[in-house]
Chains A and B, each alone.
Chain A
Amino acid sequence: MEAIWLYQFRLIVIGDSTVGKSCLIRRFTEGRFAQVSDPTVGVDFFSRLVEIEPGKRIKLQIWDTAGQERFRSITRAYYRNSVGGLLLFDITNRRSFQNVHEWLEEARSHVQPHSIVFLLVGHKCDLDAQRQVSQQEAEKLAAAYGMRYVETSARDAINVERAFTELTRDIFELVKRGDITIQEGWEGVKSGFVPNVVHSSEEVTKSDRRCLC
């Protein structure tokens, strides 16, 4: 029997406080935008299926993290078991962009012995008038670290699908090439072909619905 999903990838979403991590994830997983969302205390969890090619579905487990520095001692425990990450900054807040280095360092030092495929996300691109970080600048930084760069807006649903799908594709390619392998005791990547996995019908319908939009 064909599995509902080929692989399960675990992603982590990081970035400064109020850059819009939770809003971006909610837009992606629930398809809507909340004007205001509660500050994340500790970690939060979401999941969704994405179809990277017809019939090839990947299940994403997405860990949302608190942006406040104090919570890093807690959130850093989540790096190790993640295969991918979205590193967000707010294009209207220069400081959140400057902190990108710090976030990468933080991730790098806690992900050992594994590694994380990062995507740099310039969020709130609907607020172009208040922009403090130019696209070129962000692209340059992303290239320097070997990351892709995407500008998104949860409010206007710009590039949200693209951001997650591109990251998923990149990871999928690495998995296919064998650069990333499934390992016992590591949650980053899991195969869908596990005999004892029972899939709820709800997820199937959910994914179908998502694919239409």
Chain B
Amino acid sequence: MLRRRSSSSSAKSSTKRRSSSAGFDEFGFAFIKRREKKLHHRSHDYSFPQPNALKVKELCELLSYWNGSSFICRNQIERFIRIGIPTAVRGRVWKCLLDLDNVRVASDFSYQVCLTEIRKGLVDLGVSEYSIISAITTLIDKENDLGSGAGQTPDAHSSAFSTVDVALFRQIALDLQRSFPTHRSLMGDSPEAIEGQAKLFRVLTAYAKFNPQIGYCQGMSYIAAVFLMLLGEEEAFWALVVLLEKPKYLSELFDSSLKKIQHQALVFQQLLKHRKPQLFQHLEKLGVSSFHFVMQWFLTLFTSLPCWDSVLAIWDLFLLHGLLAVFRAGLTILHLLEPRLMSMTEETTVLPLLLRVPVDVSQYSVLIPALWSTEVQEWEINCMNSVILEEMTESHETEKTKEDSSSSVSSDEQKEKSPAVENPAEDRPCKKEPVGPGGKNLFARILKLAQRYLADSAKQNTSNKAQPASPARSSPVVACQSKKRTSVSFTQAQRRRSQSRRPQNEAVVRKEPLPPQCTDGGTAENRSQVPLRRLKSGPVGRVARRRSGVQSGRGKSLLLRSSNQSQKASIPTSPVSQDPNQACTEPRESPGKSSIHPPLEEGSVFSPRTGTEVRESQLI
């Protein structure tokens, strides 16, 4: 099964594949002797399709008049990504998607100047990126000297390097030979590999200098190495910068606290709970937290998957859609593994499967079609995100109340203190009374969040315009809000649901013109304008109704959620006064209905049907 070639189109390309240089496959990974195959499982019989010459020509044409802010261009490119980007053109596609040329021109940072600085430091230390092994030894010795020597500060002052630099160089050097150790550009000590490792070293150190607050974090070497496989050295550097700085991609994920990745893992957990309730419950029963495997997906962007053609296809989608694609790919993998996972009864068997996804699931012909049929919407992620933030605030407030019940602290103040909320800019612009320290009607909450999300985007814009947020502080939510819908956004399931229950939903969506959005690769300014336009295109209430209508299909898992929460005890079960909170965010068209609706009791079990009905009734 592993050796299966999926389609005739891949057979067509097999001659080409064999002709690639002896010892390495077409992606540059070494063929490993059968006996050792399991050890370095990089090279496989790939199953990705080869688009025909006409399509390739069309794609090249598209790239020649590429405009990253054009909705049409981005829509077109998605079509090509779906067909499969030919390996030879991928570098160009990525450059376009990341808008590298413009980023480079707009920045006043010079890669070459930075390298000169770095090289000065290296010379002072007596090491070179071209002899990594001896560099590691020297750096470690130097670090020992600096660490043990009493006069470390004068020493650091007098030379062009500091202890921080030594530690940085050392850590990067240590990872060079371990990142894709079977790729021709990094493997062994051939001239090509020595050059490849030197490039990787330079790109990573230059990034660490570009953003000293982030510096170097394990995981980055994989990302930079992927770029170096497809782009020139300086392009790879800028690609890394875009990826690690833009909120759409991985900004803040690698920062020294690693809080955001933990937050993203929670969001993923919520998504799983929501989309795959049975699997979620099963994993929870076995004590498997999605945190264990999700972190790797986010920090190394699926480069640990054994089939490289699939990795690149996920990256194509990731570079187009950003973080959303990570959620999507993660969910797809879980979906494909679900039958196996459901039959497992121990954490010991579940975790290795998830941490080392097998070939039969990760091969292109299986994973990528499944990826395209798995939809994850931004608003879903935004809602999950808000649920997490709210839970954190609530639990934080509870702690607070315990500590000091007499003083009444405003929720905003507390939010800022909460370490997990990394983003005060995202704090609800719709200022509200403190959230009561109790479990709340979950439906009302989700509904409210969906509505708040819409309200937020309007307010966010105004605030953004008045005072543009620094990129480091803008949240993924903010970035996502403005993100366009590049395809017809209902999943099959959602469509079925909306057709059967609320036929008018679809009509509403269709009638609404999709705003000519352009934001993904764009700057913060044009990003901020988009939601405004969207709001102009239809009254908030209507959009809210449409969105909540879609959400109603999720009633089941949300109900499960409410019943789970009482067990987790993360939310206390004391009675709540919740109505006043909601008043300000209630939609116009449902005058207070959901707030009038009695709160669902925590811990009580509802049938999914009832749940849906309740929600339907709230919405009409």
Kindly identify which residue among A35, A41, A61, A95 contacts B348, using a CB–CB cutoff of 8 Å: A61
| A60 closest partner in B (C-beta) | B348
Given A68-B217, A70-B256, the answer on whether A37 and B355 have CB atoms closer than 8 Å is: no
Given A17-B174, A35-B181, the answer on whether A61 and B347 have CB atoms closer than 8 Å is: yes
Chain A residues, CB < 8 A from B120:
none
Complex contact A17–B171 (CB within 8 A): yes
Docked CA distance A197–B344 (Å):
10
Complex contact B178–A71 (CB within 8 A): no
Tell yes or no: B529 within 8 A of A by CB: no
Main secondary structure of the interface of A (DSSP, over half): loop
Complex contact B352–A46 (CB within 8 A): yes
Tell yes or no: B39 within 8 A of A by CB: yes
Q: How far is the CB of B308 from chain A (nearest CB, A)?
A: 14
Tell yes or no: A44 within 8 A of B by CB: yes
Docked CA distance A32–B35 (Å):
12
Chain B residues, CB < 8 A from A124:
none
Q: In chain B between 32 and 79, which residues have their CB closer than 8 angstroms to a CB of chain A?
A: 39-40
Complex contact B218–A34 (CB within 8 A): no
Output the residue of A95, A196, A198 with the most chain B CB within 10 A. Answer: A95
Q: In chain A between 36 and 50, which residues have their CB closer than 8 angstroms to a CB of chain B?
A: 36-47
Complex contact A39–B218 (CB within 8 A): yes
Kindly identify which residue among B40, B147, B219, B346 contacts A98, using a CB–CB cutoff of 8 Å: B147
Complex contact B171–A68 (CB within 8 A): yes
Complex contact A66–B352 (CB within 8 A): no
Given A39-B178, A41-B295, A41-B296, the answer on whether A187 and B287 have CB atoms closer than 8 Å is: yes
Docked CA distance A200–B350 (Å):
12
Complex contact B295–A34 (CB within 8 A): no
Complex contact B217–A70 (CB within 8 A): yes
| A42 closest partner in B (C-beta) | B295
Docked CA distance A187–B259 (Å):
24
Output the residue of A68, A70, A93, A98 with the most chain B CB within 10 A. Answer: A70
Given A95-B143, A98-B147, A187-B287, the answer on whether A44 and B355 have CB atoms closer than 8 Å is: yes
Complex contact B178–A197 (CB within 8 A): no
Q: In chain B between 261 and 290, which residues have their CB closer than 8 angstroms to a CB of chain A?
A: 261-262, 287
Main secondary structure of the interface of B (DSSP, over half): helix
Chain A residues, CB < 8 A from B257:
73
Encode A18-45 as 1/0 by CB contact (under 8 A) with B: 1000000000000010111111111111
Docked CA distance A44–B296 (Å):
9
Given A38-B179, A44-B355, the answer on whether A198 and B258 have CB atoms closer than 8 Å is: no
Q: How far is the CB of A182 from chain B (nearest CB, A)?
A: 15
Complex contact A70–B258 (CB within 8 A): yes
Docked CA distance A45–B348 (Å):
8
Interfacial residues, chain A to chain B (CB-CB below 8 A): 8, 17-18, 32, 34-47, 59, 61, 66, 68, 70-71, 73-74, 93-95, 98, 187, 196-198, 200
The 9 closest A-B pairs by CB, nearest first: A36-B181, A42-B295, A45-B351, A47-B348, A41-B219, A18-B174, A39-B218, A68-B218, A198-B345
Would you list 29 pairs from A and B whose C-beta atoms are within 8 A, ordered by A residue? Answer: A18-B174, A35-B181, A36-B177, A36-B181, A37-B181, A38-B304, A41-B295, A41-B300, A42-B295, A45-B292, A45-B351, A61-B347, A66-B218, A70-B254, A71-B218, A73-B257, A73-B258, A74-B258, A74-B261, A74-B262, A74-B295, A94-B144, A95-B140, A95-B143, A95-B144, A98-B144, A98-B147, A187-B287, A198-B345
Interfacial residues, chain B to chain A (CB-CB below 8 A): 39-40, 140, 143-144, 147-148, 171, 174-175, 177-179, 181, 217-219, 221-222, 254, 256-259, 261-262, 287, 292, 295-296, 299-300, 304, 345-349, 351-352, 355
